[in-house]
């Protein structure tokens, strides 16, 4: 038996994301005042994705709790739609984007932090908030995968959705650069045109790999638990 019910964990995680988002938006940082605001940063987009995902998880739990034993056919149909939305968000956005943000941020940070997170940001963003944006995302999403089995879409549909998201964000970054003349991330200032194209393609491949990894991990966890129970 779990020490903490999964429903309580989801509420706690959702509240932590609300706290991180509120504190991040409250920072009077110059980048927030320029074109695109916070929405030009993948970190912020990911925080919104995670908050929406866990919000849907909590809503699904509440629906199941409030209608337990009294659910009519229509309520069951709506609940299944909510579960379908929860599983879709987990598969194509919450897991691949969350893992991508955490791994890419810390790899680049450890290599040369000024390429992704200039030291100037230490004057605006405290360490706990930085970890809330770039570290705890990973254990939170692993906890959710460990506590709830999620139904993944077909691999082709999932990969098409993930790649569409990645290319959409690349186009958004290019548009911000077109308008402002400044790249969202300092790393891109050091790359030539061909290098940027190859870099963007590489990142799209990486996030696609994370999608497949999530699918495999989800199947492994729950197939293993099923075998353990049957034995």
Between residues 78 and 195, the one the model is more confident about = 195
Rounded Cα–Cα distance for residues 199 and 143 (Å): 31
DSSP string covering 60-80, please?
HHHHHHHTTTT--HHHHHHHH
Q: How many domains does the chain have?
A: 1
What's the pLDDT at 1? 38
Domain of residue 192, residue span: 6-230
Q: pLDDT tens across 121-146, in order?
A: 888 899 999 999 999 999 999 999 99
Q: pLDDT tens across 105-124, in order?
A: 999 999 999 888 888 888 88
Residue 85 counted as domain residue: yes
What's the pLDDT at 90? 96
At 3, the pLDDT band (50, 70, 90 cuts) reads low
pLDDT-above-90 percentage for the chain: 67
pTM, two decimal places: 0.91
Residue 1 counted as domain residue: no
Average pLDDT over residues 170-174: 96
Is residue 79 predicted with pLDDT exceeding 90? no
What's the pLDDT at 23? 94
Contact 141, 94 (CB under 8 A): yes
Rounded Cα–Cα distance for residues 95 and 138 (Å): 8
């Amino acid at each position: 038996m779990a020490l903490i019910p999964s429903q309580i964990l989801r509420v706690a995680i959702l509240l932590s994301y609300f706290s991180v988002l509120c504190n991040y938006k409250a920072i009077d940082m110059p980048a927030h005042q320029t074109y695109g605001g916070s929405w030009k940063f993948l970190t912020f987009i990911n925080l919104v994705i995670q908050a929406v995902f866990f919000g849907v998880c909590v809503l699904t739990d509440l629906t199941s709790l409030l209608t337990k034993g009294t659910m009519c056919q229509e309520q069951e149909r709506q609940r299944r739609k909510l579960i379908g939305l929860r599983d879709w968000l987990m598969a194509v956005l919450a897991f691949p984007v969350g893992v991508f943000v955490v791994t890419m941020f810390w790899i680049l940070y450890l290599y040369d932090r000024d390429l992704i997170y200039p030291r100037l940001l230490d004057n605006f963003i405290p360490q706990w908030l930085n970890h809330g944006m770039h570290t705890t995302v990973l254990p939170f999403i692993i906890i959710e995968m460990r506590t709830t089995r999620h139904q993944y879409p077909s691999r082709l549909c999932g990969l098409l959705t993930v790649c569409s998201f990645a290319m959409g964000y690349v186009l958004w970054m290019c548009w911000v650069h077109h308008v402002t003349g400044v790249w969202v991330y300092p790393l891109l200032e050091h790359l030539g045109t061909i290098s940027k194209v190859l870099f963007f393609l590489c990142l799209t491949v990486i996030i696609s790999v994370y999608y497949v990894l999530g699918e495999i991990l989800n199947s492994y966890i729950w197939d293993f638990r099923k075998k353990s129970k049957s034995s």
